[in-house]
Amino acid sequence: MSRRMPRRRFTRPQWAISIAAALAVIGFIAAAQWNSSLARQEFVTSAQRILVSEAEQAQRQQESLRSQIEEAEARLREFQQRDEGSRTALERLSQEVALARYAAGLTAVVGPGVVIEIADSLQPVPEGGRDSNYIVLVDDLRDIVTALWASGAEAMAISGGGGPQERLVTTTSVYGVGASILVNSAFLSPPFRIEAVGADGLADRFLAHPSYLTRVSERIEAYGLQFAWEARDEIQLPAFIGSTQLRYGAPRPEAD
């Protein structure tokens, strides 16, 4: 009588289970990597879009700034041109004002010229003679000043008795007041000193001028008035310190 062998239950070998587990893990990892790759690709694409947008915005800002800079440079050039024109006009106006001040005697001047001194006579007045013939009269100073202006003097000043100089200008008045002579607002007494600035040869032209020869030189010779002159290479004259404003005069309106 035969005996049956008992059936053995079928079991999978251990290595198969290990392989299956490994494959499962690999599949999971692959799936995870795939999902991660998709997410990374989406992230990179999104980041690129952001960078491109930011780059385009920066370019637009740069173009706007460049336009503003060009506009500012153009305005700066315009201001510089205006300023240059204003400077030129200001310099020209300053020169005209300086010339006007010089002509009006409001500026101290220096230059070649002549110094003239005249004083009362030291001779005794003869019996029956007139005392006024032996002293410097206001007409003597006026004639000397007239001769100097006519001889080319550009600026002039008078002092008397060792006092300060009085610059002669268009509004200067020279009047006789008793024994003194009023020049501008100063009372001067002899000896009188007249200093004039002008071109070389001013002294020679003055001594040959009729305003000097016809009366002053004759009085010097006849009554012994003290008189001396000296040409100098440099004479300094002060500026006029009084008022040059006219009280009653005004510019005449131009005719239409």
CB 156 within 8 A of CB 193: no
| pLDDT tens by residue, 146-173 | 999 999 999 999 999 888 899 998 888 8
DSSP 131: G
What does the pLDDT read at residue 229? 96
Average pLDDT over residues 75-86: 74
Residue 207, burial from CB neighbour count under 10 angstroms (0-12, 13-18, 19+): middle
Least confident of 67-71, 148-152, 217-221: 67-71
Distance CA 158, CA 242 (A): 14
The phi, psi pair for 110, rounded to 5°, reads -145, 140
Between 254 and 184, residue with greater pLDDT: 184
| pLDDT tens by residue, 90-106 | 777 777 777 777 777 78
Q: Which helix (H) or strand (E) holds 15?
A: helix 14-103
Distance CA 114, CA 140 (A): 17
What does the pLDDT read at residue 10? 44
Residue whose C-alpha is closest to residue 167's, from 94, 61, 238: 238
| pLDDT tens by residue, 23-65 | 565 665 656 555 555 555 554 456 556 655 655 665 676 667 6
CA 173 to chain centre: 36
Residue spans per domain, the chain: 16-103, 109-237
Query: Is 60 exceeded by the pLDDT of residue 3?
Result: no
Assigned token pair, 63: 């173009």
pLDDT band of 117, cuts 50, 70, 90: very high
Average pLDDT over residues 186-210: 94
Average pLDDT over residues 202-216: 94
Distance CA 209, CA 10 (A): 159
Percent with pLDDT over 70 in the chain: 69
Instruction: Name residue 187's beta-bridge partners.
Output: 182
pLDDT band of 66, cuts 50, 70, 90: low
Least confident of 203-207, 237-241, 248-252: 248-252
pTM here is 0.62
User: In one letter, which amino acid is 46?
Assistant: S
Between 240 and 245, residue with greater pLDDT: 240
Least confident of 9-13, 158-162, 180-184, 242-246: 9-13
**Mean pLDDT estimate for the chain:** 79
DSSP 255: P
DSSP 215: I
What does the pLDDT read at residue 29? 60
Distance CA 232, CA 208 (A): 18
Between 74 and 193, residue with greater pLDDT: 193
- In CATH, the number for domain 109-237 is 3.30.70.1880
